Amino acid sequence: MITKRHKKGKPYQTILFSLFSAILIFGVIGFLIYSNLKTYQQRRELNLRIESLKAEISALQEKKQELEASASKLGEEEYLEKVAREQLNLQKPGEEVVTILSPEEEEKEKEQEEKKSFWQKILEKLSF
């Protein structure tokens, strides 16, 4: 009869091999989960960026439409007159322009006058 020899190290080897295989499998699964989470996070950030860029595009398109509308008005005489009156403080012959200053503007004007030198004040008094 053939007798079988039992190797003493075999049960430990199978346990170690099983343990090593389990650790390797869990390591691979953990790595896959980690990389999937990273990919999900990047995708979420990119989607948020896409949404913000879409909002910016729509705001810029609205501004473009406003600018195109104002550009079409530039040729109109009434619009030119309005701009000349409001921004350049121009007036028609025989008209008087009344400017109402806010308290902040009055303070700035006083500060500018205080900054003028003695000679500048004298020249202003002498000039008509």
Per-residue pLDDT tens over the stretch 28-37? 999 999 999 9
* Full-model pTM: 0.42
Q: Which residue has the higher pLDDT, 101 or 28?
A: 28
Per-residue confidence (pLDDT) for residue 57, from 0 to 100: 97
User: How is the chain split into domains, by residue range?
Assistant: 14-98
Q: How confident is the model at residue 6 (pLDDT cuts 50, 70, 90)?
A: low
The CB density around residue 49, as the number of other CB atoms within 10 Å, is 10
pLDDT (average), residues 118-122: 77
**Rounded to 5 degrees, what are φ and ψ at 7?**
-85, 135
Q: Mean pLDDT over all residues of the chain?
A: 83
Which stretches does DSSP call E strand in the chain?
A: none
8-state DSSP, 1 = -
CA distance 111 to 104: 11
Q: Which two tokens stand for residue 128?
A: 């008509």
The CB density around residue 94, as the number of other CB atoms within 10 Å, is 5
Nearest to 100 by CA among 92, 109, 91: 109
Per-residue pLDDT tens over the stretch 38-89? 999 999 999 999 999 999 999 999 999 998 887 777 777 777 777 777 787 7
CA distance 122 to 116: 10
Q: Which two tokens stand for residue 13?
A: 């080897």
8-state DSSP, 96 = -
CA distance 17 to 14: 5
CA distance 90 to 84: 6
